[in-house]
Amino acid sequence: MKAAVVDRQGGVPAYRDVPDPQVGDGEVLVTVAAVAVENVDKAIVAGTHYTAAAFQSALPAIPCFDGIGHLPDGTTVGFGGLKPPHGALAEHVVVPAAYTVPIPDGIEPPTAAALSSAITAMCMRTAGGLTAGETVLVQGATGVAGRLAVQVARLLGAGRIVATGRDDAALKEVGADAVINTAVDDEQLVRAFRENAGEGYDVVVDYLWGRPTELLARALVPDTFAFAKPTRLVQIGESAGADIRLTGDALRTSGLEIYGGARNAATTMPAAYQQVVDWVRAGALTIPITTMPLSQITEAWSRTDLRGRRLVIVPD
């Protein structure tokens, strides 16, 4: 069968012949229908993600660890449970039967493959406790997940949405009530965070970390001894940097509370998933995607022009 194969750390996948997978006890054969290529997949191939060691030690290997496909009886499922060197970017995969879940009717495989980008945005409620009428700051709103977070915040009833990014043209497209360009000097950015806060940011959905979040923490520190309004920051990504310098007063007096995106996930994510599915079915939530065939994986992997659209690889 054909698959996308990476043969070195940081390499670009190539379209190659590989042996057909063999089905073992408790496993099922899945014909792959759609695989979303996300930032985490590229980071694993580059060797920069904290889970990359297993992939790197198994090279040559097939990237991506989940996707959408069809069982032999025609049932459309989401699948996971793949271990390097086996990955989802192939014509067929073999996975443990327990790692397949039926895909709801009314959602095509390419859209289903990209649902996770919208589900991460639900962390503003599941981890951050967002309630209707509150103000949401989306850090990194011009990427796929960030744009979806703006939509999700609106659907969850946010009273005001502020979005950050480095691209003015893209920021105008995200549909936020106010935007902040982070490509300015430190003092300008701190001032912009303060000027756009209104009565305060209730929930921050953070796909950036790094410098923008460090400066946000500085902006939240009050100028007086007054108690600041709580700000629940949900940390999801780190596209602007893996580290921040966090001063004591940023926690002691700012009201800043920091949570990981997986907070409460075990009990809340099934309902969050269903909510996203319902929105997509109803047309209330649109997930922008660009599809390309597996045979063009080298070109697809290297694209830099997607502008807020999720790359999804489909069969030829």
Same domain for 190 and 308, yes or no, is no
pLDDT bin (cut points 50, 70, 90) of residue 228 is confident
Does the pLDDT at position 65 exceed 80? yes
The model's pLDDT over 82-122, given as tens digits with 9 standing for 90+, comes to 999 999 999 999 999 999 999 988 899 999 999 988 999 99
Q: Give the model's pLDDT for residue 312.
A: 97
Report the pLDDT value the prediction gives residue 104, as an integer from 0 to 100.
Answer: 87
Report pTM: 0.89
What pLDDT, on the 0 to 100 scale, is given for residue 254? 86
CB atoms inside a 10 Å sphere around CB 41: 23
Give the angle 69-113-154 at the CA atoms, nearest 5°.
Answer: 150
Residue 224 pLDDT more than 80? no
Is 267 contained in some domain? no
CB 219 within 8 A of CB 201: no
Identity of residue 151: Q
Two structure tokens written together for 163: 């979005």
Count of C-beta atoms within a 10 Å radius of residue 281? 13
Going by C-beta distance under 8 Å and a sequence separation of 6 or more, which residues neighbour residue 283? none
Q: Which two tokens stand for residue 142?
A: 């011009």
280: confidence class by pLDDT, cuts 50, 70, 90: very high
Q: First-to-last CA distance in the chain?
A: 12
The rounded mean pLDDT for the chain is: 94
CATH of the domain at 157: 3.90.180.10
In a domain, 275, yes or no: no
pLDDT given for residue 129 in this prediction: 96
How far apart CA 76 and CA 68 sit, in angstroms, is: 7
Give the helix, strand, coil percentages of the chain, each rounded to 5.
Answer: 30, 25, 45
pLDDT over 90 at 231, yes or no: yes
Q: Is the pLDDT reported for residue 80 higher than 90?
A: yes
Burial of 114 (0-12, 13-18, 19+ CB in 10 A): buried
Do 131 and 148 have their domain in common? yes
Q: What average pLDDT does the segment 7-29 reach?
A: 96
pLDDT at 68 over 80: yes
Domain span holding position 139:
118-260
Same domain for 174 and 93, yes or no, is no
Whether the CB-CB separation of 33 and 109 falls below 8 Å is answered with: yes
Q: 123 and 109, same structural domain?
A: no
Q: Clarify whether residues 146 and 245 are in a common domain.
A: yes
CA 286 to chain centre: 15
Percent of the chain's residues with pLDDT above 70: 99
Query: What is the tens place of the pLDDT at every residue in 168-197?
Result: 888 888 899 999 999 999 999 999 999 999
The answer as to whether 277 is a domain residue is no
Picking from 195, 211, 123, the residue whose alpha carbon sits closest to that of residue 162 is: 195
In a domain, 269, yes or no: no
Total count of domains within the chain: 2
Does residue 205 share a domain with residue 251? yes
- CA of residue 32 relative to chain centroid, distance: 21
Does residue 302 share a domain with residue 223? no
Query: What does the pLDDT read at residue 30?
Result: 98
- Across residues 286-306, what is the average pLDDT? 95
Nearest to 45, CA basis, from 17, 90, 88, 7: 7
